[in-house]
């Protein structure tokens, strides 16, 4: 993906109109652009985020907006395609947006990021790929816990459970999955864990029996899988019939009915990571639970199901950029950027403490480890400890 970025940036240079910032400090609405995957492979994820970005902004506007100014949202569909994300960035730049919330799909987010940096537009990404914030990019801030944070959290869980040898399977075409695997490789020894088998596959894979055969012939005590979209469903369904006899551990991309429902009975007993908000009903009373309820209650009332991981991320992203406008006292992009970099805010995904050295903001305590029980995600005992720590950190 990084090799494609110079080309995409060149395309943007040819198509982006120059001009003064529209929507700078004044009395008109604050204009936020939102690029998301509403069609294509990532549509099931992106549409959930879109629901809560809209919910958060609707709530903010009904409460009086930011300094009396309403937020105007423009949502554009990147179709799960990086080149479309670039086209939409150009349109939003021409329209004079004050900030951009970026796609759930890491490859789209990585295509937009250098353009937002060049134009110095505050950019809130809903994708978890580490490359966006490592090294730090001045105007880019990530909402989900990064892939490496999820990797470290998973390794902490293995350490607590006495699991020392694991197999890892990951999608080589997904920036999210690659970063997750690299995080596990980087941190494994710190937690007394050895990666005894690594299996690579591509997004269009439909038969995972070779992966299971190789894992069966290793001495792995658990299989960790980095997947999103269709492969996560297919692998889990086939795993149930493979009879490996070791735990299957999935990441937060599966923390949703979008995975639970199609996998069905095969999901039972699978371990799935998530942001603490996904299992917010298990949290003790306090500030974090209150923030989650403010989002989850109207979401469930409108859509009839509990908000998934991606919905949590969308709502948090809208809250963060709105809080930055409020803290900056307007829409001056440099001041909004500075406000983000000093942000301390509790959202449904946990407490964010961005800084000059950290544009991801979330600590690993905001990640729970759950197990599927009767079709629902239920925190493990270790996960409950994480929830307690997250609630305490939120104040």
Q: Is the pLDDT of residue 237 over 70?
A: yes
Report pLDDT for 3: 44
Query: Mean of the pLDDT values across residues 368-384?
Result: 97
- What are the chain's domains? 5-145+293-363 (3.40.50.2300), 148-281+366-394 (3.40.50.2300)
Report pLDDT for 251: 97
Angle at which helices 309-328 and 287-303 cross, to 10°? 120
Please provide the size of the chain in residues. Answer: 395
Residue 206: other Cβ atoms inside 10 A = 10
Q: Is the pLDDT of residue 62 over 60?
A: yes
Residue 1: other Cβ atoms inside 10 A = 18
CA atoms within a 13 Å half-sphere pointing along the CA-CB vector of 321? 36
Give this prediction's pTM: 0.88
Report pLDDT for 228: 87
End-to-end CA distance of the chain: 39
Of 118, 88, 121, nearest to 103 (Cα)?
88
CB 318 within 8 A of CB 311: no
Q: Is 215 exposed, middle or buried (0-12, 13-18, 19+ CB in 10 A)?
A: buried
- What is the per-residue pLDDT across 323-340, written as a single tens digit (0 to 9) for each? 999 999 999 999 999 999
- What is the per-residue pLDDT across 97-136, written as a single tens digit (0 to 9) for each? 999 999 999 999 999 999 999 999 999 999 998 999 999 9
Confidence of residue 27 (pLDDT cuts 50, 70, 90): confident
């Amino acid at each position: 993906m990084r090799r494609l970025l110079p080309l995409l940036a060149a395309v943007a240079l040819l198509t982006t109109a120059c001009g003064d910032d529209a929507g700078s400090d004044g009395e008109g609405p604050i204009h936020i652009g939102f690029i998301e995957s509403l069609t294509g492979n990532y549509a099931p994820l992106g549409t959930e985020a879109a629901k809560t970005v809209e919910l958060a902004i609707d709530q903010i506007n009904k409460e009086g907006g930011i300094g009396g100014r309403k937020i105007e949202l423009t949502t554009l569909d990147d179709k799960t395609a990086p080149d479309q994300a670039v086209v939409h960035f150009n349109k939003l730049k021409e329209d004079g947006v004050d900030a951009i919330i970026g796609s759930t799909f890491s490859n789209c987010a990585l295509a937009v990021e250098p353009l937002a940096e060049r134009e110095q537009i505050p950019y809130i990404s809903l994708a978890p790929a580490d490359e966006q914030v490592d090294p730090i990019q001045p105007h880019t801030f990530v909402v989900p816990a990064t892939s490496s944070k999820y990797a470290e959290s998973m390794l902490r869980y293995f350490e607590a459970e006495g699991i020392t040898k694991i197999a890892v399977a990951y999608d080589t075409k997904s920036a999210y999955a690659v970063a997750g695997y690299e995080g596990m490789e980087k941190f494994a020894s710190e937690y007394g864990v050895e990666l005894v088998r690594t299996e690579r596959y591509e997004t269009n894979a439909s038969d995972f029996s070779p992966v299971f055969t190789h894992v069966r012939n290793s001495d792995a005590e658990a299989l960790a899988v980095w997947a999103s979209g269709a492969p996560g469903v297919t692998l889990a369904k086939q795993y149930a019939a493979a009879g490996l006899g070791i735990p299957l551990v999935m990441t937060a991309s599966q923390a949703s009915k979008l995975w639970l429902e199609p996998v069905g009975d095969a999901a039972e007993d699978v371990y799935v990571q998530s942001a603490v908000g996904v299992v917010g009903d298990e949290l003790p009373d306090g500030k974090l639970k209150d923030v989650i309820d403010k989002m989850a209650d109207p979401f469930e009332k409108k859509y009839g199901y509990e908000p998934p991981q991606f919905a949590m991320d969308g709502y948090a992203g809208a809250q963060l950029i709105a809080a930055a406008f409020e803290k900056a006292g307007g829409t001056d992009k440099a001041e909004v950027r500075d406000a983000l970099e000093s942000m301390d805010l509790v959202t449904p995904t946990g407490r964010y403490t961005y800084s000059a050295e950290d544009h991801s903001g979330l600590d690993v305590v905001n990640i729970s480890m759950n197990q599927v029980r009767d079709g629902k995600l239920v925190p493990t005992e270790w996960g409950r400890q994480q929830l307690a720590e997250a609630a305490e950190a939120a104040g």
